[in-house]
Structure 1
Amino acid sequence: MICIKELNLLCSRAELDNLPEGKLLINTINAFSYNNARRDVLFEEALTKGDVLIPDGISIVRVCRFLKGKSRPKERIAGWDLFVYEMRKLNEKGGKVMFLGSSEKVLTLIRQKAAKVYPNLEVVTYSPPYKPQFTIEDDQNMIQAINEANPDLLWIGMTAPKQEKWAYANWDRLNIHCHVGTIGAVFDFFAGTYKRAPMIWQKFGFEWLYRLLKEPRRMWRRYVFGNTLFLMLVVREKLGI
C-alpha cells in the first residue's frame, strides 16, 4: 500500500534540470491522488513505479517533513511548473510536442496559444473519446497516433487517475523517446478555459481553497471530505497503523 514516507519525490524545481533525456514517465501527486491510490492498485503502481513523481500539493510537501519521509521536498512543484519548464526547454531548440486528451475546443485553443508563446514548436493534438472506460480500439487508436507523431514531448490530460493509469498500462506500447507528463488541468490553464488561483493563494498553499470557493458544488467532496480523509491517513501512517 502506498505510503507517503516511502515516496521517492523530486524535491525542488532545480532538479528538473537533472532529469535524464529519453523516455521518461513523469507523474504528480497531491492529497486527492494519494487518497485514490490507497484504494486503486493500478493507480498506486502508476504513481510509485513511474520514473519521476512530483509533489503537486503543499500538503504532500508538509507531510513528508512531518513523517520524516525518505524524500523531503523543499517546495511544491505544480504540474504547471513542469509544463512551463519542459515547453521552454524544447522551444529553445525546436521540436514537436503532442497533447493527448481534452476536447477539440480546448485543443484548438492550445494550438493557437502555443503558436504565439512557443513559436518554435510543432503542435500535434489528439482528443480521445469522452467515456469512463476506453475500449481496446480506443487504446490502439491513441497509441498509433502517438507513435506516428513520434513527438519530442508528450502531455497527457485526461484527469487523474485516468491519465496516470492509461500511460502506465500502455507504456511498453509507446515507441517514443521523450518525456511524458500527466498534467490534467494544465490543459485548461494553458488554453485559458480555467484560471489558476492568484499567485498569493498559490504561495501560501491555498490554491485548493480558491478552487473550492470558485466551484463549491463540484469541489466540496474532494476538498472537505478528501482533505479530512487525507489527514486521517497521515495520522495512521505516523502511528504505524
Structure 2
Amino acid sequence: MTYQATQSALETLAIEERRTSNDRRRSQFDRWRKVLLGGLPVVAVDREESAQAMVDHALERRGLWRYPAYITSTNGEVTYRCAVDKTERSLFLEADAIHADGMPHVFVSRLRGAVPLPERVATSDLFYDVAAKAEAAGATMFMLGATEEANDAAVTSVKRRFPNLSIVGHRHGYFQNRDEEAEVCEQIARLEPDILWVSMGVPREQEFIIRNRHRLTSVGVIKTSGGLFDFLSGTKRRAPLWVQNAGLEWLWRVCLEPRRLGWRYIKTNPLALYLLLTKSR
C-alpha cells in the first residue's frame, strides 16, 4: 500500500477513533488532577512531571498512528478570550491537558482551590525541560511557527544548547492557503517527529491543531507554544526571574511593547482577574 493510501485509511480510522473512543487518546494524561481556574480545567502538575510525561507518551505512541496528544496553556488573555468566545473555548476544551502559564492562576489555585498548582508551567521554561529529556531518551522534534528568520534562529539556538537533540525538521508558521497547510502537514507526518511544537499564537495554533490532527497521526505529542520561538531565538527577552515569580511578566512585556500589548492587557486583565476569583474551584 502506498504512503498516500495508508495515510488516507489511517485518517478515516483516526476520525472514527476520535468520535467513539476519546478515552484511549487521553489515557496518558488523565491521571493528572485538574482544578477549575477562570472557567478552564487546568492540570495540577509541575514542569518536571509534565516534561517527562510528554517525552514518555510520545515514545510510547511511535508506530500507533493515532491522534496525537494535544497540550496547550492558559494565561490571563486566554482566560478572557475563552470567556467571551465560545468557539475559542471549545478549542481549549479539546486539549488533553491545559497548563497554567500564568502566576495569577497559581496564586488563585492556592487561595481558592482544593488542589493548589505546584508551580507555573510556562512553555518558555517547559521547552528546555522537554528538550533535555528528549535528547537523553532519543525523542525527536519538529519546530513549526514564527517567522522564517525567528524560526531559523530558534532552531540554531536549540541545537547549540542541545547538540545531540534530533530536530527532524522546522518551518515558519505562515501558509498561503489551506492546500499549502495540508502539504506541510504531510511533510511533517512523513518525518514522524515524536513531539511537534506549534508557535503561532492564540487562537491560530489551536485552530491549526484541531484542523490537522487527522493528518498528523504519526506525531506523538503536539504542544502549543505561543511566542516561544521568539524567546528561543533571542528576538524577545524574558522578564527577570523575580518579576516572573511576582506574576508581573505581563507588565514587563507591556513595557517592552506598549503599543502592541498595552491596550490588550488593559482590556483583558480586569475580566481575567474577575473570572479567576469567581470561576475557580
Are positions 1:103 and 2:147 aligned together?
A: yes
Partner Cα separation in structure 2 for residue 50 and residue 116 of structure 1? 31
Q: What SS does the aligned partner of 2:77 have?
A: helix
Instruction: State the shift of 1:73 in Å.
Output: 0.9
How much does 1:4 deviate? 2.9
User: Structure 1 pair 139/205, CA: closer, same or farther in 2 (3 Å)?
Assistant: same
Q: Alignment partner for residue 231 of structure 2, among 180, 183, 189?
A: 189
Unaligned runs of 5+ in 1: none
Q: State the partner residue of 1:148.
A: 190
Question: Letter of the aligned partner of 2:152 in structure 1?
Answer: T
Q: Any conservation in 1 of the 2:48–2:129 contact (CA below 8 Å)? A: no
Deviations 1:40-83 (A, max 9, x none): 333212222211111000112223344436x5312111011221
Cα shift readout 1:3-56 (whole Å, capped 9, x = no counterpart): 635614133224323455133211010010111112333321222221111100
Work out whether residues 101 and 123 of structure 2, in 8 Å CA contact, stay in contact via their aligned partners in 1: yes
Aligned AA (2:170): T
User: Cα–Cα, structure 1 residues 210 and 110, in superposed 2: closer, same or farther, change >3 Å?
Assistant: same
TM-score, with structure 2 as normaliser: 0.75
Unaligned runs of 5+ in 2: 1-35, 59-67
Give the one of 16, 28, 32 matched to 2:77: 32
Which has the bigger relative contact order, CA under 8 A and spacing at least 6? Answer: 2
Q: Percent identity?
A: 26
Alpha-carbon distance between aligned partners in 2 of 1:102 and 1:201, rounded to the nearest angstrom: 25
> What is the CA–CA distance in structure 1 between the aligned matches of 2:177 and 2:87, rounded to whole Å?
17
Q: Tell me which amino acid in the other structure corresponds to 2:41.
A: L
Normalised to the residue count of structure 1, the TM-score between the two structures is 0.86
Q: Measured at CA, do residues 40 and 143 of structure 1 come closer, stay the same or move farther in structure 2, by a change above 3 Å?
A: farther
Report whether the alignment pairs 1:170 with 2:206.
no
In 2, Cα distance between the equivalents of 1:142 and 1:194? 27
1:114 maps to which residue?
A: 158
> Structure 2: which amino acid aligns with 1:87?
A
- Quick check: 1:90 aligned with 2:137? no
Output the aligned Cα RMSD.
2.4
Map 1:1-241 to 2 at 5 A: 4=38, 7-16=41-50, 17-19=52-54, 21-22=57-58, 23-68=68-113, 71-123=115-167, 124-129=169-174, 135-237=177-279
The C-alpha deviation readout for 1:189-222, integer Å capped at 9, x for no partner, is: 1111111111121122111111111111111122
